Amino acid sequence: MNPLHPDLPFTRYLAADGRLLAELPPWADDFDLLCRLYKQMVLARLFDQKAVALQRTGRIGTYAPTVGQEAISVAIGALMKAEDVLVPYYRDTAAQVMRGVKMEEILLYWGGDERGSAYVDPGVAEDFPLCVPIATQALHACGVATAMKIRGEHRVAVTTCGDGATSKGDFLEALNVAGAWQLPVVFVVNNNQWAISVPRRIQCGAPTLAQKAIGAGFHGEQVDGNDILAVYERLQLALERARHGKGPVLLECLSYRLGDHTTADDATRYRSASEVKQAWQEEPIKRLQTFLAAQGVWNEAREQALIGECQAQVQQAVEAFEAAGNQPLESVFDYVYAQWPAALAEQREQFFERAARREEGGDHE
């Protein structure tokens, strides 16, 4: 039984040290699948490290590290069908990349380039760009799911957010409409224990975030978000349930934000080194690696080969990002409105006048 809430399942198969705690579902006998999941997690971690380094050297503007969130995002990327729609937040780049978004597009996005949200792969044309405004995407996902339901399609909208986002009106309104209309939507809450400097324990008075689903009339549950086998199993069931008209699901994944909130943050100012050290003992990649090694399907040689392969993929993405060059400055005005409101049209005019003056050498503002 879940000590935090008697009516809410909590699922974990792997202990922090990779030991098996419960009998695995049959799909987990497929070691090729488990190795593919492991590979994606390693790729996500290496990409993340590179993105932070690019920000530190001034090549992208800001970045939200995803270290520690790999199990959640990779399970999403592995399980969603092509025809489903992902409505992600800013720590789901692993899922985005698995669905067809290019790593260089993620870098363009964080470099402030609009091309980073205009995915070239037609397979992800209906997925949403990553969302920085907190929780607004939960309502967008309900809009998408409403369209799917009206059309009678067997598709699911999957939306993700953090623990802090679950306090927002947008999130609660989204849960309400999802429950009232029994929409084919799955809410994946990445409870990484912190919302910038606000810890989970003062974020909300309820012992779990998953129980918010009960108030909206649908199923919620918790999983260990550092155990990809648990996330995969429960998300698979959630997607099936939503796909077959059995209503929405809220999956709360318990994890930890191992990195700073973003590259503009310094988390040492508000949390202790011992807490972070403890959280590293729980992290998802080592946990799966230890399990796979104990099954005899992973070893140091495979690990080194994988790291080399992933680093080459990341390097290729960096090169593609750098070869993309700069967008024209006026692109900041594009893509938001089909027709500019008067005030924006005026600003755009001023922008061009100033740019022309600058070119003539007369404006040094």
The residue type found at 257 is R
Helix (H) or strand (E) holding 347: helix 342-360
d(CA 161, CA 143): 16
Strands of the sheet containing 219-224, edge to edge, are: 10-11, 219-224, 249-254, 185-191, 157-162, 85-87
Site for ligand TPP in 81-140 (CB under 6 A): 91, 132-134
Task: Pick the binder of Mg ion from 77, 88, 116, 162 (CB under 5 A).
Answer: 162
Query: 234, 241, 261, 287: which one is catalytic?
Result: 261
Mark whether 90 is an active-site residue: no
CA dihedral sign, ordered 57, 60, 63, 67? negative
Q: Which stretch binds ligand TPP (CB under 6 A): 13-21, 101-109, 194-202, 228-236?
A: 194-202
Task: Pick the binder of ligand TPP from 35, 196, 276, 306 (CB under 6 A).
Answer: 196
**Closest residue by Cα to residue 75 from 231, 185, 227:** 231
Q: Which stretch binds ligand TPP (CB under 6 A): 98-106, 142-150, 159-167, 339-347?
A: 159-167
Helix (H) or strand (E) holding 140: helix 136-151
Q: Considering the complex, state which of residue 93 and residue 192 has its C-beta at the smaller distance from Mg ion.
A: 192
Q: Which stretch binds Mg ion (CB under 5 A): 9-17, 101-109, 154-162, 220-228?
A: 154-162
d(CA 12, CA 222): 9
Strand partners, 221: 251
Mark whether 13 is an active-site residue: no
Q: Decide which of ligand TPP, Mg ion, none touches 116; Cβ closer than 5 to 8 Å per partner kind.
A: none
Indicate whether 194 belongs to the interface with ligand TPP (CB under 6 A).
yes
Query: 154, 270, 337, 354: which one is catalytic?
Result: 270
C-alpha distances in Å from residue 158, one per residue of 138, 243, 245, 271: 9, 11, 15, 31
> Could you tell me whether strands 85-87 and 157-162 are parallel, antiparallel, or unpaired per DSSP bridges?
parallel
Helix (H) or strand (E) holding 349: helix 342-360
In the bound complex, what is the minimum distance in angstroms from residue 149's beta carbon to ligand TPP? 27
Q: Considering the complex, state which of residue 211 and residue 255 has its C-beta at the smaller distance from ligand TPP.
A: 255
Nearest position to ligand TPP, beta carbon:
162
- CA 113-264-310 angle, to 5 degrees, is 65
Q: Decide which of Mg ion, ligand TPP, none touches 258; Cβ closer than 5 to 8 Å per partner kind.
A: none
In the bound complex, what is the minimum distance in angstroms from residue 131's beta carbon to ligand TPP? 9
Indicate whether 14 belongs to the interface with ligand TPP (CB under 6 A).
no
CA dihedral sign, ordered 294, 300, 305, 306? positive
Q: Considering the complex, state which of residue 267 and residue 293 has its C-beta at the smaller distance from Mg ion.
A: 267
Q: Which stretch binds ligand TPP (CB under 6 A): 41-49, 143-151, 162-170, 298-306?
A: 162-170
Mark whether 38 is an active-site residue: no
Task: Pick the binder of ligand TPP from 87, 141, 165, 250 (CB under 6 A).
Answer: 165
Query: 5, 241, 243, 257: which one is catalytic?
Result: 257
In the bound complex, what is the minimum distance in angstroms from residue 257's beta carbon to ligand TPP? 5
Strand partners, 250: 187, 220
Indicate whether 207 belongs to the interface with ligand TPP (CB under 6 A).
no
CA dihedral sign, ordered 42, 295, 17, 230? positive
Residues that bind Mg ion (CB under 5 A): 162-163, 192, 195
Residues that bind ligand TPP (CB under 6 A): 91, 132-134, 161-165, 190, 192, 194-196, 257, 261
Active site residues: 257, 261, 270
